[in-house]
Amino acid sequence: MDFSKPTIEYAQLWPMLVVFGVACLGVVVEAFVPRERRYLTQAALAVVGLAVALGGSVWVGTDLKELKGAGDAVARGKLAAEGTLAVDGPSVFIWALVLVFAIGGVLLFAERRLEAGVSAFAGQAAALPGTEAEREASTRGLDHTEVYPLLMFAVGGMMLFPTANDLLTMFVALEVLSLPLYLLCGLARRRRLLSQEAALKYFLLGAFSSGFFLYGVALIYGFAGSMQFADINEAVRNDTSNSALLLIGMGMLAVGLLFKVGAVPFQAWTPDVYQGAPTAVTAFMAACTKIAAFGALLRLFYVAFGADRWDWQPMLWIIAILTMLVGSVLAVVQTDMKRMLAYSSVAHTGFLLTGLLGVQAASALGKDEITSLQAVLFYLATYGPATVGTFAIVTLVRDAGGEAPAFSKWAGLGKRSPLAAGAFAFLLLSMAGIPLTGGFVGKWAVFAVALSAGAWPVVIAAIAASVISVFFYVRVILLMFFAEPDRDAGVESAAVTTPSLLTSATIAVCVAATLFLGVIPGPVLDLAGNAGSFIR
Amino acid sequence: MDSVTPFIVLSAILFTIGAVGVLTRRNAIVVFMCVELMLNASNLALVAFAKQHGNLDGQIAAFFVMVVAAAEVVVGLAIIMTIFRTRRSASVDDASLLKY
Tens-digit pLDDT profile for residues A310-326 = 888 899 999 999 999 99
Residues A236/A250, Cβ–Cβ less than 8 Å: no
Ranges A15-19, A88-92, A122-126: which has the least confidence: A122-126
Q: Which helix (H) or strand (E) holds A403?
A: strand A402-403
| Mutation to test the B interface, candidates A131, A175, A246, most B Cβ within 10 Å | A175
The pLDDT of A72-101, averaged and rounded, is: 88
Can you tell me the distance from the alpha carbon of A196 to that of A454, in angstroms, rounded to the nearest whole number?
A: 45
Distance CA A21, CA A41 (A): 15
What distance in Å separates the CA atoms of residue B54 and residue B70, rounded to the nearest whole number? 27
Helices (H), A368-491: 372-396, 407-410, 413-416, 418-432, 438-452, 456-482
As a whole number, mean pLDDT of residues A346-364 equals 84
- Taking residue B27's Cβ as centre, other Cβ atoms within 10 Å add up to 14
Residue of B nearest to A129 (CA): B86
pLDDT at A4: 83
Considering only CA atoms, give the Rg of chain A: 23
Position B43 in a domain: yes
Find residues 44-73 of chain B whose CB sits inside 8 Å of chain A.
Answer: 45-46, 48-50, 52-53, 55, 57-58, 60-61, 64-65, 68, 71-72
**Nearest-CB residue to A194 (from B19, B53, B97):** B97
- Return mean pLDDT, chain A: 90
Position A119 scores a pLDDT of 86
Sequence letter at residue A289: T
Q: CB contact, 8 Å: A199 with chain B?
A: yes
- Residue B65's pLDDT band, with cuts at 50, 70 and 90, is very high
Q: Is the model's pLDDT at A303 over the cut of 70?
A: yes
List the single residue in B58, B82, B99 with the smallest CB-CB distance to A125: B82
Q: Best of A197, A201, A274 to disrupt the B interface by mutation (most B CBs within 10 Å)?
A: A197
CA–CA gap between residue A307 and residue A158 (Å, rounded): 26
Summarised one tens digit per residue, pLDDT across range A362-390 is 666 665 667 888 899 999 999 999 999 99
SS (H, E, C) A88-131: EHHHHHHHHHHHHHHHHHHHHHCCCCCCCCCCCECCCCCCCCCC
Task: Check A203 against B76: CB less than 8 A apart.
Answer: yes
Q: pLDDT confidence of A360, banded at 50, 70, 90?
A: low
- Nearest by CB: B57 against A172, A204, A227: A227
Instruction: Band the pLDDT of A455: cuts 50, 70, 90.
Output: confident
Instruction: State percent of chain B over pLDDT 70.
Output: 97
Are A107 and A68 spatial neighbours (Cβ–Cβ below 8 Å)?
no
Whether the pLDDT of residue A461 is over 90: the answer is yes
Contacts of A214 in chain B (CB under 8 A): 38-39, 42, 65
Which chain B residue has the Cα nearest residue A335? Answer: B100
DSSP readout, A259-295? Answer: HHHT-TTS-THHHHHHHHS-HHHHHHHHHHHHHHHHH
Read off the pLDDT of residues A267-277 as tens digits, 9 standing for 90 and up.
999 999 999 99
Report, as an integer, the average pLDDT of B32-46: 96
- pLDDT bin (cut points 50, 70, 90) of residue A213 is very high
Chain B hits for A4, CB-CB cut-off 8 Å, are none
- Do the chains contact at A214 and B39, CB–CB below 8 Å? yes
Q: Chain B: residue nearest A332 by CA?
A: B100
* A171 vs A365, residue with greater confidence: A171
Q: Could you report the predicted ipTM of this complex, rounded to two decimals?
A: 0.96
The model's confidence at residue A297, banded by pLDDT at 50, 70 and 90, is very high
Residue count (chain A): 536
DSSP B34-79: HHHHHHHHHHHHHHHHHHHHTSSHHHHHHHHHHHHHHHHHHHHHHH
Instruction: Note the pLDDT of residue A453.
Output: 85
- Provide the pLDDT for residue A49: 97
The residue ranges of every structural domain in chain A are 10-530
pTM over 0.90: yes
Query: Which residue among B8, B61, B78 sits closest to A227, beta carbon to beta carbon?
Result: B61
Name the residue among A171, A179, A272 with its Cβ closest to that of B75: A179
Nearest to B42 among A128, A201, A214 (CB): A214
So what's the pLDDT on residue A423? Answer: 95
Inform me whether the pLDDT recorded for B48 exceeds 60: yes
**What is the span of the domain harbouring residue B41?**
2-87
Greater confidence (A104 vs A64) lies with A104
Whether residue B99 is contained in a domain is answered as no
Partners of B59 on chain A (C-beta within 8 Å) are: none
Chain A partners of B27 at a C-beta cutoff of 8 Å?
none
The residue type at A239: D
Nearest to A221 among B49, B68, B72 (CB): B49
List of residues 6+ apart from A327 with CB closer than 8 A: A264, A267, A343, A344, A345, A346, A347, A348, A349, A350, A465
Q: Which of B15, B29, B49, B99 should we substitute to test contact with A (largest number of A Cβ atoms within 10 Å)?
A: B49
Question: Does B17 fall in a domain?
Answer: yes
A253 touches chain B (CB under 8 A): no
CA angle A229, A230, A235 (to 5 degrees): 95
Which residue out of A3, A160, A161, A204 would a mutagenesis test of the B interface target, given it has the greatest number of B Cβ atoms within 10 Å? A204
Predicted confidence at residue A488, as pLDDT, reads 66
What is the per-residue pLDDT across A46-64, written as a single tens digit (0 to 9) for each? 999 999 999 999 999 988 8
Residue of A nearest to B42 (CA): A215
Each residue's pLDDT tens digit, A483-494: 887 766 667 788
Average pLDDT over residues A224-248: 88
B21 touches chain A (CB under 8 A): no
* Window from A14-23, A264-273, B31-40, B82-91 with minimum mean pLDDT: B82-91
- Whether chain B has a CB inside 8 Å of the CB on A419: the answer is no
Res. B99: pLDDT tops 80: no
How far A255 CA sits from the closest chain B CA (Å)? 13
Q: Give the number of domains in chain B.
A: 1
CB contact under 8 A, B53 and A212: no
* pLDDT score, position A68: 60
The residue with greater pLDDT, A319 or A534, is A319
Q: Residues A107, A46: contact at Cβ < 8 Å? A: no
Question: Which of B46, B60, B67 should we substitute to test contact with A (largest number of A Cβ atoms within 10 Å)?
Answer: B46
Rounded (10°) CA dihedral B62, B64, B68, B69: 20
pLDDT tens-digit series, residues A412-448: 888 889 999 999 999 999 999 998 899 999 999 999 9
CB–CB of B55 and A129 under 8 A?
A: no
Mean pLDDT over A178-192 rounds to: 93
Angstrom CA distances, A22 to A104, A273, A419, A492, stand at 17, 27, 36, 44
A 113-172 → B contacts, CB under 8 A: 125-126, 128-129, 168, 171-172
pLDDT of residue A109: 94
